[in-house]
Amino acid sequence: MALKNKIKELESEVDRLDELRKTINDEVLKAQKDASELRQKAQEDAKKIVEDAKNQAASENQSLVYQNDTLKNDYQRLKTQVADFRYKIRAKLQKQIDSLDDNTWQYYLDAATNVERIYPSDGGEPIPTASLPTVDNKGQSGVNLEHDKDADKVPLSTSQPENDQENTNDSDVTIVFPDDYKDHN
């Protein structure tokens, strides 16, 4: 009996161990399945992360390419503007240099400093008007600036008068400009 009990005990121990083995196998299979699912999910997540990173990199690359193109265009535009500015400044400076070579600069200097001078025709040094003697012109200049409308109107002719030699006194010459001469044309 003791042997039968021992066999029964051993058989029940074998059943219990089989049950335990089966439970462990089920747990191992379940763990493998979970690990496989986790691995697959991790791979999918990794692919998604890589894809997102590629998309972000492509977007940033496109943005950088756009910025680079914009900077290149701005640089070219700026280069053109600088060249235009330099050309204009050179032209203005050349104009100023040319005006310094011109004889009229002294007139402008005198006008800016309110100095009155007379410039000799021989190109000599200018003479300040303050150093010139004053001329008194209190009398009449001898030029008749008024026109007498009732005076006889003498037409102008190109022929010379016969008594040219008798009329040598130029101080008595009066020039008449008739107002109604325009009406005869």
The Cα diameter of the chain in Å comes to 192
Span of 19-28, 34-43, 98-107 with lowest mean pLDDT: 98-107
Cα separation, 26 vs 32, whole angstroms: 10
> pLDDT at position 107, please?
75
pLDDT digits (tens, 9 = 90+) for 31-83: 999 999 999 999 999 999 999 999 999 999 999 999 999 999 999 999 999 99
Q: Rounded CA gap, 128 and 173, in Å? A: 35
Provide the β-strand partners of residue 88. none
Q: Please give the share of the chain, as a percent, with pLDDT higher than 90.
A: 45
Residues 6+ apart with CB under 8 A from 64: none
DSSP state, residue 127: E
Q: For residues 9, 11, 16 and 20, what is the CA-based torsion angle, rounded to 10 degrees?
A: 140
Query: With bands split at pLDDT 50, 70 and 90, how would you rate the model's confidence at 120?
Result: confident
| pLDDT confidence band for 25 (50 / 70 / 90) | very high
For the entire predicted model, the pTM comes to 0.36
The tens digit of pLDDT for each residue in 8-23 reads: 888 999 999 999 999 9
Task: Name the strand (E) or helix (H) holding 2.
Answer: helix 2-101
Is residue 150 pLDDT above 80, yes or no?
no
